Amino acid sequence: MWSLSDITTSIQDWLNQHFSPTWSLIFQMLIVGISVISLFAILGLVLVMMERKVSAWMQIRLGPNRVGPKGMLQSFADTLKLLVKEGMTPGGADKFLFNLAPIIAMIVAMLLMAPIAFAKDFQIWNLNIGVLYVTAISSISVISILMAGWASNNKYSLMGAMRSGAQIVSYELSAGLSILTVVVLTGSLSLNDIVYSQQNGWWIFKGHIPVIIAFLIFLVAVTAETNRAPFDLAEAESELTAGFHTEYSGMKFALFFLAEYVNVFIGCAIGATLFLGGWMPFHIGNWEAFNHVMDYIPSGLWFMGKTFFLIFVIMWFRWTFPRLRIDQLLNLEWKYLLPIGMFNILLVTLIAIMGWHF
């Protein structure tokens, strides 16, 4: 199986040879930071274009088709517009918190990139409590939304932020329970250990029906936590103008917009890691010949393919289901998903204790 460790090791060795340990570490951090920022920029361009093309395909229309070949440069045109657009701060707003909110949204997204293994031996931080780290850091994102809504001094912004707070706090419970099913079966909080535990089959296949249920709950919870339709009550255009970022414009609006898409990518990357094997190729038990052929496909392609498949599914949700009311959204979580998730975690625990999984 192809590994990217040679690249990372050669860079580290070169830095250690030419600089002191302190400066070597600083340069490594700079390289990682620039790489993550570049990845964010690329993801923003690609996912916005993907969203438009997927929605156009589902609604039998063309989508962007003017800027560049088949409209492929439309995202660049939109980015240029946001860069040159003046950023306004309302007169009655709390200026410090108003300007800080989008920065916190991006910082949280950057922190969440750390434990994700993008390919074999290609990871920013191999943390032994990666699952706990992801769940803890992701819960901070609601602070930026509440901060933006309150600091805007706008009733629509505040209402959208309060809706988002209730929504994210509620669906975090179901997301956490669905993640725990894989942790129970694996016996580890390390994302690397979870990936390696799927060498002879992904958990979505070898974990029986409870893992399939957990996977479906996780998809719904990620859609809700990222404020995506049909759970986009925090920015319901028909009711709240634009919700918590009504007063934002220019690059500050762009940061919120980018953070949403990056969070979708991160949520789907975590889902792919936990349930679909992450960078691990598709292996079937002891089928050595088949497994050997699958190993020829680069691990990074496996990871990106699974992640973008889940992103496509979440986009499919948006263009299929109508927006829920706030009471329907909370009823779905507290009356259905949470009880199902609690029963499911007990069932998975029984399966793990008895060793009934493959």
- Asked, for residue 79, whether it belongs to a domain, the answer is no
* Cβ 269 vs Cβ 185: under 8 Å: no
Q: Is 322 exposed, middle or buried (0-12, 13-18, 19+ CB in 10 A)?
A: exposed
Cα–Cα distance measured from residue 337 to residue 213, given in angstroms and rounded to the nearest whole number: 10
Name the CA dihedral angle for 153, 159, 160, 163, rounded to a multiple of 10 degrees. 140
Give the tens place of pLDDT for each residue, 128-181. 899 999 999 998 888 998 999 899 888 888 888 888 888 888 999 999 999 999
- Averaged pLDDT score across all residues of the chain: 88
Q: Is residue 169 part of a domain?
A: yes
Helices (H) and strands (E) in the chain, counts: 16, 2
Task: Determine the Cα angle at 74 with ends 68 and 76, to 5°.
Answer: 100
Q: Is residue 41 part of a domain?
A: no
Residue 63 lies in a domain: no
Structural domain includes residue 46: no
CA 110 to CA 104: how far, in whole Å? 10
State the pLDDT at residue 234.
Answer: 72
71: in domain = no
pLDDT tens-digit readout, 33-45: 999 999 998 999 9
**What's the pTM?**
0.92
- Could you read off the pLDDT of 305-343 as tens digits, one per residue? 999 999 999 999 988 888 888 889 899 999 999 999 999
* The one-letter amino acid at 178: S
CA gyration radius, the chain: 21
Q: How many domains does the chain have?
A: 1
Structural domain contains residue 304:
yes
Range of the domain at 330: 92-354
**Are the beta carbons of 228 and 318 closer than 8 angstroms?**
yes
Q: Is residue 80, in this structure, part of any structural domain at all? A: no
